[in-house]
Amino acid sequence: NISHELKTPVGAVAVLAEALMEETDPAVVHRLSDHLVEEAHRAVRTIDDLLKLSEIESTSVGDEIVELGVVVQSAVARGRVVDGGRGVEITSLDVPGGVWLRGDERQLTSAVGNLVENAVKYSHAGDVVQVRTRVDETAVEVMVADQGIGIPTRDLDRVFERFYRVDRARSRETGGTGLGLSIVRRVAANHGGEVLVSSQEGEGSTFVLRLPASLVVPPPERSLIDLHEEQQRRE
Ligand code: ADP
């Protein structure tokens, strides 16, 4: 799978570069260069995601204390960048302040970020993406719901597989690598949790990252020095 996924963009880069060498018409040169850059970026994204996945698979979860609200905020920010003003609205609701988890901040940020990024990519302009969190005695949940194209029932089980795309052409258009949800699933498992999906084709999808409540820890004690610095900043 990996060699195929890399061979396609790298092969395209080679063909486009050769065509460019013989081309003199500035308009064609321009078009070929655009394609060349696009294919090169595709290869880079695939390599980046493969490295991320292999790092997540091979390292154990860092023993950090992570604030849930910060993870959600940075995922929402990433969604806005991906949207790039296309007009998908992202709202985050019910994010309780002061919920701290024992986990790996980079991994959790990457997982929730991937869910928000997908929700934006597979939505239409004007659709709303909602990010909600819920904390109870059994679990901490981050829910990402969109009103986008949805996923056919027959594909629901497979979307977490590496390089699986429901619609290859659509994923290509949106610059997808087909690895985002494999990363989410792996991050969930590393934290003793899971990722669930429900979807209706044409109506939207909801992904839930569900982590065990045992990860919740009391807020870290801040040192007197931290408090002093904070006080000074306020003044
Ligand atoms: P990609 O890089 O292609 O987005 P992912 O692993 O993140 O890869 O997702 C796998 C496939 O699942 C996507 O190609 C897309 O077909 C489908 N998918 C993921 N998230 C959504 C969503 N929110 N709405 C509709 N389809 C989705």
CA of 30 from ligand 1 middle (Å) equals 31
Determine whether the shortest distance from the Cβ of 113 to ligand 1 is under 6 A: no
Cross-sheet strand order for the sheet of 100-103: 64-67, 100-103, 216-217
DSSP-H helix ranges across 95-212: 105-121, 168-173, 180-190
User: Which atom of ligand 1 lies closest to the CA of 150?
Assistant: 25
List the Cα angle 81/87/90 in 5-degree steps: 65
pLDDT in tens, the chain (235 residues): 788 888 989 999 999 999 999 999 999 999 999 999 999 999 999 999 999 999 998 877 877 899 999 999 999 999 999 999 999 999 998 777 889 999 999 999 999 999 999 999 999 999 999 999 999 999 999 999 999 999 999 999 999 999 999 988 777 777 789 999 999 999 999 999 999 999 999 999 999 999 999 999 887 766 666 667 767 777 7
Determine whether the shortest distance from the Cβ of 88 to ligand 1 is under 6 A: no
The backbone torsions φ and ψ at residue 21, rounded to the nearest 5 degrees and listed phi first, read: -60, -30
Determine whether the shortest distance from the Cβ of 110 to ligand 1 is under 6 A: no
Closest residue by Cα to residue 65 from 216, 186, 227, 226: 216
User: Which atom of ligand 1 lies closest to the CA of 207?
Assistant: 23
Residue 145 pairs with which residues in a beta bridge? 130, 206
What global pTM score does this model have?
0.89
